[in-house]
Amino acid sequence: MQNMNHIRENYFIELDEDAQRQYIDARAVFNAWEDASRAAAEVRGGMYWQTKHGKDYLIRTSASNSQKSLGPRSPEKEEIYRRFIERKDLAERRVVDLKEELVKQQKFNKVLRVGRAPNLLVGILNELYKSGLADYFTVVGTHALYAYEAEAGLRILGKAALATRDVDLFWDIQRKISFVTQMQNLDTSFLNLLKKIDSSFRRLDDHRHTARNNKGFEVDLIRRLRKDGDPHPVQITDDEDDFYVVEAESAESLQGASQFQTIIVSTSGQMAQMRTVTPVVFAKTKRWLSELDTRETVKRQRDKLQAEIVEKLIADHLLP
């Protein structure tokens, strides 16, 4: 018993100094690249002069190729044009330069074994970010541990705590209207977004809140229990093959919970921003799940282990 207690107290091992320094450097480049990408997005489209009825007019084009006249040529319009072109060129060059540096950092990440998050998870998170959907979802469950250990510069020991073949994405139903609008602008379904990462993803017929790929990796969409006139059932888009979102009793503690965000690194060195709940919310939720008599024994044991691990992280390494 004494030996078992000793094993359970030693949940972590620190990353070596080279890996810790590399994570710090890579995270800085990744953040700079994201900032540059946002700045470049603000000047998507273009500006040009169009002659009409003998007069020059300044035309602003959007990324979707829509056009808007800003008025006839004048010193003020010429200055607007000059500043836009200068800003656009600078933004685009900065994105290209940082992208090249990001590729280098990802190679260093792989060589120094900085990360171990699943490549597929990182790919999904990056696709959500690129599509402007990241703020609608929170990663919950086992995969949140990758964020906590990355922030703490540690590795969680043993495979039991991290053993899972599915990622749970909590969807904020209170933002349903704006989410639907964004999906309509993208002109796609959530399932098709996943297929950009892995074309083998299919929605399960008997669990319509779940998609599974050919390697058995699953993506589950969950929501809070219905209340305040929430629609039910909820399909995430109008596409007949798309996800439904399942109610989860555990999600009650997640609606409106404080957020925790950091950069995780995959085994291949790729990086992504992960939004999850704070460690203290995670630990409390797992403690509650571990005490549910209706939950499978194996899952309850893992819930208890994960709660203990994150409680230890909070005590010794992380802010709650």
Chain Cα centroid distance, residue 108: 22
Rounded CA separation 20/175 (Å): 37
pLDDT per residue as tens digits for the range 131-146 = 999 999 999 999 999 9
DSSP structure string for 109-176: HHHTT---B-HHHHHHHHHHHHTT-GGGEEEESTTHHHHHHHHHTEEE-SSTTT--SEEEEEE-GGGH
At residue 8, the pLDDT reads 43
pLDDT per residue as tens digits for the range 25-48 = 999 999 999 999 998 988 888 999
Is the CB of residue 98 less than 8 Å from the CB of residue 29? yes
Is the CB of residue 106 less than 8 Å from the CB of residue 26? yes
Domain edges within the chain: 41-109, 115-316
For 137, how many CA atoms within 13 A lie in the half-sphere containing its CB? 26
List % helix, strand, coil for the chain (3-state, nearest 5): 50, 20, 30
Tokens representing residue 181 in the block: 């609008």
Q: Which of 233, 88, 55 is CA-nearest to residue 221?
A: 233
Rounded CA separation 183/13 (Å): 42
Please identify every stretch of the chain with a pLDDT value under 70, giving residue numbers as ranges: 1-9, 319-320
Q: Which of 276, 56, 279, 256 is CA-nearest to residue 152?
A: 279
Rounded CA separation 110/73 (Å): 53
Residues in CB range of 1: below 8 A, 6 or more apart: none
* CATH architecture group of domain 115-316: 2-Layer Sandwich (3.30)
Q: Does residue 164 come out as left (phi exceeding 0), alpha (psi in the -120 to 50 range) or beta?
A: beta
At residue 3, the pLDDT reads 41
At residue 159, the pLDDT reads 85
Is the CB of residue 155 less than 8 Å from the CB of residue 116? yes
Rounded CA separation 32/305 (Å): 36
Q: Which of 203, 197, 257, 212 is CA-nearest to residue 235?
A: 203
Rounded CA separation 299/27 (Å): 33
